[in-house]
Structure 1
């Protein structure tokens, strides 16, 4: 069909459908006719309305084509999901931006808090995460009763290296300085982990001045505080009140100070785990009241963790016990996928699909009868939490970004479907490669076996990655009768 003939046909079609002859309608009609896509009055009106609202025909028209070709439900929800997917904004940036908005934008609901935890588990905003909790992890590793002596010494050494503890100050001197400074503190929140720590350190300060007779007496008083009994009643039990008091050496008091710190941090972490008030940062502030120094230490700790990710093990940036601690923190809280280990990669990908909530509908459909025992876990994932958040009173900017992320997840589900004997799968995940953040998009297409399972002998897998130096890179893996052909494609050309 020539151009003039096409324009005439378009005009006739629009008139026949009773549509106002406007540029958007003309463009849609031309696209549908050129691509030989089915046209009805209802689908045309719907498509035109969606394209106008999206205000991006270049992206929107191919989405309409995809919906027809893949025989997807011709509804706005499907269009919105695929349109958001097609815009191509990096998924990890969407998630990182959303995490920051939840923190700064005033969404303080329980759902928002759970969403932040889920996003953290996906390792989004990694640099920000390292800044936020890297120092916490050093302090808790130093105080953790399960840490080995080597780990404890490494953690304390790193606290010195970041400036959180003054350079050259030994552990015992640092603990003694906390005891000596306890009396001048004020404004401590009552009945908190930090309050118990403060009361205990005050007792130790009084003990240095001769308020107690024996270390055992102090231990009894501290135990009463830790068990939430009143401090004043705890200080001098009646049965030993008349005993002769004496000054008790700092050498005997510092282990008690360490015990108090261990209890305080254990309680704060437990409180955080059950969704209560987060006190860990408050406790860090108690250990070092210089807020500028604490902020600087957080930055230095993040740098050390990044260096640990990127430098070879033999590099001389830290002592052996310090490297142990850095590796432990990264393994526990910022675990990266080991791409040299196939089963490990498979496990990590499966876990991430669960965290995204891609299996929510599957879990709902396959829920056995009234058995809801495991279902709450499926509701604590990204997609159901986003659905819940959108029903709450939240700022418009947060709502808009939540809808974008929800559409991206839904698009993955829509495009992962069966088409006759062929199984398609699309999966986009945020990925951390060292200190670099990117997306991993995995596109799988393959036939199914007679049992309905994916046939690993005949399939095609495409990996899309945006890399720092190689930029956009595609790995095309084709499997035919178990013979694998791998092609790496990027702007610099392709190589088999």
Structure 2
């Protein structure tokens, strides 16, 4: 389903939109004679377009014919070269069409002519020869034909560069996989400035590797335990114990006492401590020695007063050393102060030195990732809150640096804009502005993924790096070609990585709509298509249409139980949309291939054929 779904998502303009095409001498087209007029003039329908044409031979009304456009002024001049529909073309007719172009009726050429006929794409000799040559160089002829179709129906320049870009966009691996391939191919010992800058940017754009993610996930979980209160704090501590990051089976109080004891002994043999732990150790030592005045100065230097008054924190920590016998409450107050100190004075990575050995910490992180990726219930007596915190900790750990921000949302407008800016999809526009200015010190082209890949290719890199760079460059160029403006309509196609449930996913998104007078996206009238391939739900397509801020959503997935699974989330979706002034009118679920009330069975690609939206002036 993946290929067909993505093709449907990309092919917003169908071949029926020939009504905007210009017919040029030499092109072959299929049309139906609607009406006959004197002097061999006829009304001909080609696709959805009706035209008055001059025929070079008498024909019959209501019949379909194959025509070749002839030179001439005024009316379109058509020469009949065969009869029949695009679905029933005899071998002899195909050979005759190839003969008009002085091409041999080979198997590949016959197949190519059938493709142009089926898609109702006007074709001439030059285009047919170019297409034949390009298709001979690709692994998948069907994917190559899809690229040709997009070029001819979207008004994209008919060049080999455009063909290779669109072929890579639709057929080759995902954007993230191509980025990972290039990142691995880049030699860290290379002296190339472009290569070093590119590797750095790729590390910011790509999700981290499994070991790094596992350790970062535990760091995030530790931060949740220390910085939050109540059930979430206790649940995070339970998880750290469950996966072996904390070997102690005792209560939180016992764990904190063990941490403080280890902190007091760290650094005694000349080992260097992280800055945060070093300050915390100094503070604990000062309080233990009775130097409260200096301790307050140390606290004030790195903890904002509004976070916790220095005097109050020192007095609470003193209870760990000078407490009234038998008063357990004072001990707990002191330990909670130490917990606060740990949450502010050190990050998760340095805290791991107080909680366990490095190998134990790493193994615990890997077990955590393994548990998150399993479809069965979590081990032990873990609840939905535990699952939520696990997902949050892993998601934040694996999220690419350029997609990170405060908050728990997977993808926001800020994240998407940041990621798109880093890709460099407006590179040529920036370059044009710089060249137009012609003055040093004015606008500069920012370092983006595309600009750095181009610089790297100019340095004649090794074959493996060159191949990976060219594939990635074609992918980015393909997105640019698919994201061009068509009259008043703006379209954007892109893939964005994100993390869900501990796994890295990729969202393919296509936005179509008009711009406002000031050049911004019109969020009141638009259509957005989302394509995701999830681990357990497989392919999911979401078709979101907005008219005057009234939103309707259609979801396509092969799992018939998805509707029931999602019903409880619909009120939440409606409420959240209302908060940003949108009204959710409907959410419909469809299983591809199943008949629906009032509809015939349709393929996913059919769902994205030409549609017109009244009052929006958008044709998709």
Q: Give the aligned partner of residue 262 of structure 2.
A: 174
Matched, 1:465 2:522: no
Change (3 A) 1:434 1:134: closer
Change (3 A) 1:409 1:372: farther
Change (3 A) 1:348 1:54: same
Q: What is the Cα-based RMSD across aligned positions, in Å?
A: 5.5
Change (3 A) 1:434 1:74: same
Q: Give runs of aligned pairs for residues 89-104 of structure 1, distance below 5 A.
A: 89-99=173-183, 101-102=184-185
Residue 414 (structure 1) shift: 0.5
Q: Give the aligned partner of residue 430 of structure 2.
A: 363
Aligned residues: 405
Q: Give runs of aligned pairs for residues 258-269 of structure 1, distance below 5 A.
A: none
**Normalising to structure 1: TM-score of the pair?**
0.61
Q: Give the aligned partner of residue 205 of structure 2.
A: 122
**Normalising to structure 2: TM-score of the pair?**
0.50
CA contact (8 A) 1:353 1:359 kept: no
Matched, 1:38 2:126: no
Secondary structure at the residue paired with 2:507? Answer: strand
Residue 433 (structure 1) shift: 1.9
CA separation in 1, counterparts of 2:479 and 2:131?
21
Secondary structure at the residue paired with 2:412? Answer: helix
CA separation in 2, counterparts of 1:306 and 1:336?
21
Q: Give the aligned partner of residue 262 of structure 1.
A: none
Matched, 1:64 2:166: no
Matched, 1:441 2:504: no
Greater strand fraction, Structure 1 or Structure 2: 2
Matched, 1:404 2:471: yes
CA separation in 1, counterparts of 2:545 and 2:241?
53
CA contact (8 A) 2:259 2:354 kept: no
CA contact (8 A) 1:154 1:325 kept: no
- Structure 1, unmatched stretches of 5+, are 186-192, 205-213, 215-250, 252-264, 267-279
- Structure 2, unmatched stretches of 5+, are 1-82, 84-88, 283-288, 290-320, 322-345, 559-590, 598-620
Change (3 A) 1:407 1:287: farther
CA separation in 2, counterparts of 1:371 and 1:137?
45
| Greater gyration radius | 2
Matched, 1:388 2:476: no
Q: Give runs of aligned pairs for residues 76-475 of structure 1, distance below 5 A.
A: 76-87=160-171, 89-99=173-183, 101-102=184-185, 106-109=187-190, 111-124=194-207, 127=210, 129-131=212-214, 133-134=216-217, 167=248, 170-175=258-263, 178-179=266-267, 182=269, 292-293=359-360, 295-300=362-367, 302=369, 331=396, 334=399, 345-367=412-434, 369=437, 370=439, 375=444, 378-379=446-447, 381-392=448-459, 394-448=461-515, 454-475=521-542
Per-residue deviation, residues 144-169 of structure 1 (Å, max 9, x unmatched): 9xx9999x999999988876787588
Residue 326 (structure 1) shift: 9.7
Per-residue deviation, residues 408-447 of structure 1 (Å, max 9, x unmatched): 2211111111222322221221232222332222222234
CA contact (8 A) 2:245 2:361 kept: yes
Residue 130 (structure 1) shift: 0.6
Deviation larger for 298-307 or 154-163? 154-163
